Amino acid sequence: MTSFPQYSNTKKIIVLTPVKNEAWILDRFLQVCSRFADHILIADQKSTDGSIELYSKYSKVTLLINNDPDYDEATRQMLLITTARQQFGIGNILLAIDADELLAANAIYTSDWERMLRAQPGTILYFEKPTLYKSTNNVIRYDGGGWPLGYVDDGAIHTPAEIHSTRIPTPNYATKLYLDEIKFIHYALVRLDAQASKQRMYSMVENIKGTKSLRLRIKAYNSSLDFTNEGDRHETPNTSWFIGWEKEGIDMHTIPTSAYYWYDYEGLKLFRKYGVKRFALDDIWNFDWEGLRLAAIKENYPFTPEAPIKNPRPLTRKLIAFILTNINQVLSACKKLRQLR
């Protein structure tokens, strides 16, 4: 059993964040975190977009190198949690947040912030992540208590999954604390093209790892996913989420985009390693992979497939996707009927 330092006399807020090529929002994220966190642990997985150069600007950042060659949430979570315990002991507040999840500016002035600071070790902290949609002028809201993004650490064992893993320990004995007044603003859907790129990569990763069947991959990563019905309601964001940070000179609204994203290049690497036919039935073929391959050649990307990339089985894939999509719709309708009874 790994031994860690004893409980910290003074409870610290420690942010745990995995990063791979997040320069588009990383500076904003680190500015915000530096206002409320005592320490920021970053597990960087070989970023090449300028992310590495940003960390030295922030005195609270400790850079950890994630040398895993593949996408694996379990590896990075264990690296972050283990390092937090080794360096700062247990008894601290661990906040496991991604670079595109920014604490709302009004959060630190709420009664829930005080409740979080008073929470005892062995407490899971739940927060809502209002998701900005298409721009910072529209937000998707979620009822139901939020996500487990924080843990008041008592040294509990963490058992992460390789993909779509709960980020912090959630032992059965733990107290659950729902902090409705504290919001983490999620920027994932302000760049729908980047989100589509991420969905393609997830489908390919789950294909390789065998963590979802083809039917479930098509359901989860369908290229026709419509986010207009996402969440419980769409509304205008609360200006208090932004204004406090803006008064400190933090830009909360600029959204840089790109022709290609790192998720796309990860797809090229998987094509090169496993072959194009491996992914023939995944719903990833509404994208110009050959255009990306040619761009990657010009950029000297080391994992570029040598052969041109063509849709290997377009008609077969379309037919199977049509059948499985309809099966998914029937199953969803049956589930709703059972819930109404």
Q: What is the CATH number of the domain that holds 44?
A: 3.90.550.60
Mean pLDDT of the chain: 93
| Helix or strand holding residue 175 (H, E) | strand 175-189
Nearest to residue 67, comparing CAs of 45, 38, 35?
45
8 Å CB contact between 111 and 182: no
Shared domain check, 114 and 78? yes
8 Å CB contact between 54 and 63: no
Band the pLDDT of 244: cuts 50, 70, 90.
very high
What is the DSSP-derived secondary structure letter of residue 279? G
Q: Does residue 5 belong to any structural domain of this protein?
A: no
- The whole-number pLDDT of residue 131 equals 98
Q: If you average pLDDT over residues 138-151, what whole number do you get?
A: 97
Close Cβ partners of 217 (under 8 Å, ≥ 6 residues apart): 203, 206, 207, 282, 283
Nearest to residue 102, comparing CAs of 45, 172, 166, 27?
27
Among residues of the chain, what percentage have pLDDT more than 70? 90
**74-78, 110-114, 268-272, 319-323, range with the lowest pLDDT:** 319-323
Shared domain check, 72 and 172? yes
How many other CB atoms are there within 10 angstroms of residue 336's CB atom? 9
pTM (two decimals): 0.89
Shared domain check, 335 and 196? yes
Domain tally for the chain? 2
Question: What secondary structure does DSSP assign to 89-152, as a single string?
Answer: -BSSEEEE--TTEEE-TTGGGSHHHHHHHHPPSSEEEEEE-PEEESSTT-EEE--SS-EEEEEE
Nearest to residue 266, comparing CAs of 187, 198, 213?
198
pLDDT at 157 over 90: yes
Q: Please give the residue that has the higher pLDDT: either 330 or 31.
A: 31
Q: Supply the angle between the helices 23-36 and 240-247 in degrees, to the nearest 10.
A: 80
Q: Please give the residue that has the higher pLDDT: either 6 or 98.
A: 98
Give the domain extent around 106. Answer: 13-189
- The whole-number pLDDT of residue 10 equals 83
Residue 169, classed as helix, strand or coil, is: coil
| Domain boundary, last residue among 132, 166, 189 | 189
φ/ψ of residue 333, rounded to 5: -65, -40
Residue 33 region by backbone torsions, left for phi larger than 0, else alpha for psi between -120 and 50, else beta: alpha
Q: If you average pLDDT over residues 138-164, what whole number do you get?
A: 97
Shared domain check, 197 and 129? no
Q: Does residue 100 belong to any structural domain of this protein?
A: yes
Q: Does residue 250 belong to any structural domain of this protein?
A: no
- The whole-number pLDDT of residue 1 equals 35
pLDDT at 74 over 60: yes
Q: If you average pLDDT over residues 108-126, what whole number do you get?
A: 98
Q: If you average pLDDT over residues 181-207, what whole number do you get?
A: 97
8 Å CB contact between 127 and 144: no
Band the pLDDT of 323: cuts 50, 70, 90.
confident
Q: Does residue 2 belong to any structural domain of this protein?
A: no
Band the pLDDT of 185: cuts 50, 70, 90.
very high
- The whole-number pLDDT of residue 298 equals 97
Band the pLDDT of 314: cuts 50, 70, 90.
low
The tens digit of pLDDT for each residue in 274-303 reads: 999 999 999 999 999 999 999 999 999 999
Shared domain check, 269 and 159? no
8 Å CB contact between 187 and 253: no
| Cα 3 → chain centroid | 29
Q: If you average pLDDT over residues 128-134, what whole number do you get?
A: 98
- The whole-number pLDDT of residue 332 equals 65
Shared domain check, 180 and 73? yes
The amino acid occupying position 162 is: E
- The whole-number pLDDT of residue 2 equals 45
Shared domain check, 220 and 178? no
| Helix or strand holding residue 297 (H, E) | helix 289-298
Nearest to residue 292, comparing CAs of 314, 319, 259?
259
- The whole-number pLDDT of residue 322 equals 67
